[in-house]
Each structure stands twice: as C-alpha cells, then as structure tokens.
Amino acid sequence: MKLSRRSLLQFGALLGVTIAGGGRSARGGPKNILSDDRMGVLVDTTVCVGYRNCEWACKKAHDMSTLPIETYENRDVLGQFRRPNLESLTVVNEFPSDKPIPIDVKVQCMHCDHPACVSACIVGAFSKTEKGAVIWDSDKCIGCRYCMVACPFQIPAFEYNKPIQPRILKCDFCVHRTANEEKPACVEICPVEALTYGRRHDLVKVARERIRKHPARYVDHIYGEHEVGGTSWLYLAGKDFKKIGFPRNLGNNPAPGVSESIQHGIFAYFMPPALLYALLGSIMWMRRKINHEESASDGKP
C-alpha cells in the first residue's frame, strides 16, 4: 500500500492528538480526594441583608479580636469594597441594584475543588480535605506567598506586620467545628439563613430548584458550580456576577490546570533536555556543514 501525502498528514494529526490527550491527564491539579459527600455552602445573595453577623461569628470562632456584635450594625463600612484580610477572614460587600434594596455579597475562600494554592505551595503545606475544605499547615509554611499569587479569588492574607514566623491566613471552612458535626460559624449565626451548609451535590440541586421556581429573582447561573473546575462555596444572585465583585473570565478549567499541564506535560516526556540537545546538535551540524562548504570553496583556485 502506498502512503499518500494526505493519509500521512492524517496520521500525523492523530499522533499529535494522542500525545496532547495524554498530556491532558495531568490537568486538573493535584490528585485531590474529591468525595461525592464533600460539603459546601450555598450563598443566596438575594436573601443576605448585610447584617455582618457572619464577620463577627468568624472572628469569635477563630479566637480573633473583635468589637462587640452590636457595632456590626453600622453599615458605613459597606460603602467601600473590602477583601478578606488579617483582621477578618470573611467580609460582606454591598453593591447597588436595580431594585429598591442593594445586593450584599459575603466574600471568603471559595474552597476550590482543584485549588491553585495547593498546586502552587512548594512545601506541600496546603491540602484539600475529603470534606471539601482547603486547609494549610502553618508549621510547614515557609512564607513564600506563592498561594497568594496563585489564588484566582485573591483570598490568602499574609502577616506582613510580623517579622518572626509570619502566617498565611484565610477561611478554613471551620474545620474544627465541622469535625464535631457543627455548622461553620458564619452559617450558624446568619439570621436570614442566606447561607446553607450541606452536601455540595444537594446544594447544587437546591440552587437549581430556586432558579426554576423564581426565574425573575435569580440570574440563571450558580457561581462556583463550574468556575475554575468547581468550588465548595456556591453563589446565587439576582444580578450578573461580574457586577457584584466576582472575578471576571476565570473560565471553567481548574486554575492550576494550565501551569501544571505545561510542567507535567514537558517533564513527563523528558522533552526539555531532548529538545535542548537536539537544538544544540542541529546548530553544530549546520555550522559544520557551512564550515565544510566554506573550506571547500576556499580550497578552489
């Protein structure tokens, strides 16, 4: 059988796809234990009233200093956009709405299913637990702050003010509470139950049902269901998520997917050294050929 040019190209393309497909297996971050029973929280921003009791409860649960709960009734702080920081691992931001009441959005670690911080951490301090929480080990942490750069939601905070043994801080999904079958502190205190704690799979169903029942109330999107490969915290809203402080254009692929697929892909096939030697070899060969031709032409009378 004679191999035509066309079939040769087809074979080449097929080979390329196979190799690329093989590379895809490296995508999706580290091998997390993604249990079907992993927990999550559904945040309904149409219910949240911006009480900020969650901020207070979070600090209490993590032994952080806080003013009395009554002071949290002051809504002036909602006037400016805030991020979770050293003082508060969760904050509530307020956004204007087309309706008479503004939209309040609680912000904290999303607890990604394929966390970029876990992938970026060079000492393996970060890990994703079976129950869904993304936690870290302060003893292992060397303070490189790669996790802060890697996080697509800009969540981890760093104790810049502490010269000796500074720590990374972020929401830990109240692992010390959930281990004792307690709800996360913020979920428990919310007076309007804007936060629902449950199995992530069930929460997606609940969220879908709410959108189906009240199509005018919600935009048809569960933020976190697919974003960066899925997150444990899910959000419902009545307004485009881009307009209420959520990062734009994150895509649905896991955040560490690209970097890891490049790294794992390249090193898996021992490509860089081979390519490097091939390049050097071809340069040498070219130079030799040119030299040979030059010396041949010089030899002519």
Partner 1 sequence: MKISLVILLFFPLTLCAQHSERSPSSGLNCKSCHSCEYPTVTNPCLVDCPREDLITIRHGVSSGPNMIVIDRFRERYGPVVFSHRLHAEMADMGGGCESCHHYNTTGPVLACGSCHEPGSGSMELGMPGLVAAYHRQCMSCHREWQHTVECQSCHALSGDMKMAAKGLGELKAKEHKRISEPTKVVFKTRSDKGSQVTFYHDQHSKLFGMSCTMCHEGQGCVRCHDVKKTVLTETPVSSMDGRTTEEKHKACFSCHENDKCSNCHSDVETKPFNHAVQTGWVIKKYHSNLSCRSCHGSGNRFVRVQSDCGTCHSLEKKGSFRHEVTGVRLDDNHLGFACEDCHSGNRFDKVPDCSTCHDDKSWPSDRPGIPWP
Query: What's the CA gap between 246 and 153, in Å, rounded?
Result: 8
User: Which residue, among 298, 288, 226, has the nearest Cα to 255 in the 3D structure?
Assistant: 226
- Single out the residue of 177, 202, 204, 253 in contact with partner 1 (rule: CB under 8 A): 202
In angstroms, how far is CA 244 from the centroid of its own chain? 18
Binding residues for partner 1 restricted to 75-104, rule: CB under 8 A: 75, 100-101
For residue 34, count other CB atoms closer than 10 A to its CB: 15
CB of 91 to partner 1, least distance (A): 17
Per CB under 8 A, 114 contacts partner 1: no
| Element (DSSP H or E) covering residue 233 | strand 233-236
Q: Which is nearer to partner 1, 120 or 203 (CB)?
A: 203
Q: Supply φ then ψ for residue 48, to 5 degrees.
A: -55, 135
User: In angstroms, what is the minimal distance from the CB of 142 to partner 1?
Assistant: 40
Give the pair of three-digit tokens for residue 185: 């502190």
Contact call for residue 59 and partner 1 (CB under 8 A)? no
Q: 59 and 88 in contact (C-beta within 8 Å)? A: yes
The CA-based dihedral angle spanning residues 73, 77, 82, 87, taken in that order and rounded to the nearest 10 degrees = -60
Q: Does 220 engage in binding with partner 1 (CB under 8 A)?
A: no
| Nearest distance in Å: CB 99, partner 1 | 8
Please state the closest distance from residue 205 (CB atom) to partner 1, in A: 8
Residues 9-48 that bind partner 1 (CB under 8 A): 42, 47
- Residue 102 CB, shortest distance to partner 1, in Å, is 9
Name the minimum Å distance from CB 191 to partner 1.
Answer: 5
Stretch that binds partner 1, among 12-20, 136-144, 199-207, 240-248 (CB under 8 A): 199-207
What tokens does 194 get? 């804007």
Token pair in block for residue 89: 């691992």
Q: For partner 1, give the closer residue by CB, 192 or 268.
A: 192
Contact between 223 and partner 1 per CB under 8 A:
no
Please identify, using beta-carbon distances, which residue of 63 and 73 lies nearer to partner 1.
73
Rounded-to-10 torsion of CA 253, 254, 259, 262: -60
State the nearest-atom distance from the C-beta of 189 to partner 1, in Å: 8
Neighbouring CB atoms inside 10 A of 262's CB total 12
Is residue 73 close enough to count as binding partner 1 by CB under 8 A?
Answer: yes
Between 92 and 135, CB nearer to partner 1: 92
In Å, how far are 19, 30, 67, 288 from 56, measured between CA atoms?
52, 34, 8, 74
Instruction: List residues near partner 1 by CB under 8 A.
Output: 42, 47, 49-51, 73, 75, 100-101, 183, 188, 190-193, 196, 198, 202-203, 206, 209-210
